Amino acid sequence: MRLLNAKEVAYRLGYSTSWFHKNRITLYHNGFPFPRPGTKRWDPVAVSNWMHEGESNPSSSRNVSASRQALNQL
């Protein structure tokens, strides 16, 4: 599996790379996946799952738009 660099993660989130770098810690506090150990790259499946968490699991502790709300609060 090909891992994502920061620029690719930012693009998927709809933000600039500099925004992503400035807001990573807050994202991590909201459940965003950490980069793979020993790399500066993220698992694309984990990123996608975080963005869509709750859509397939209505009993999730976060609602469908929780990840988007976390992004909008930054």
Could you tell me which residue, 56 or 1, shows the higher pLDDT? Answer: 1
Tell me if residue 67 falls in helix, strand or coil. Answer: helix
pLDDT digits (tens, 9 = 90+) for 25-68: 999 999 999 999 999 999 999 999 999 985 555 555 544 455 66
pLDDT digits (tens, 9 = 90+) for 8-20: 999 999 999 999 9
Number of domains in the chain: 1
50 domain-assigned: yes
Looking at residue 35, its amino acid is: P
Task: Please tell me the predicted confidence (pLDDT) of residue 19.
Answer: 96
Task: Please tell me the predicted confidence (pLDDT) of residue 53.
Answer: 82
1 domain-assigned: no
Looking at residue 1, its amino acid is: M
- Look up the domain containing 36 and give its range: 6-73
| End-to-end CA separation in angstroms for the chain | 30
Q: Are 68 and 24 in contact (CB under 8 A)?
A: no
Please give the model's pTM, rounded to 2 decimal places. Answer: 0.75
8 contact partners, CB below 8 Å, separation of at least 6: none
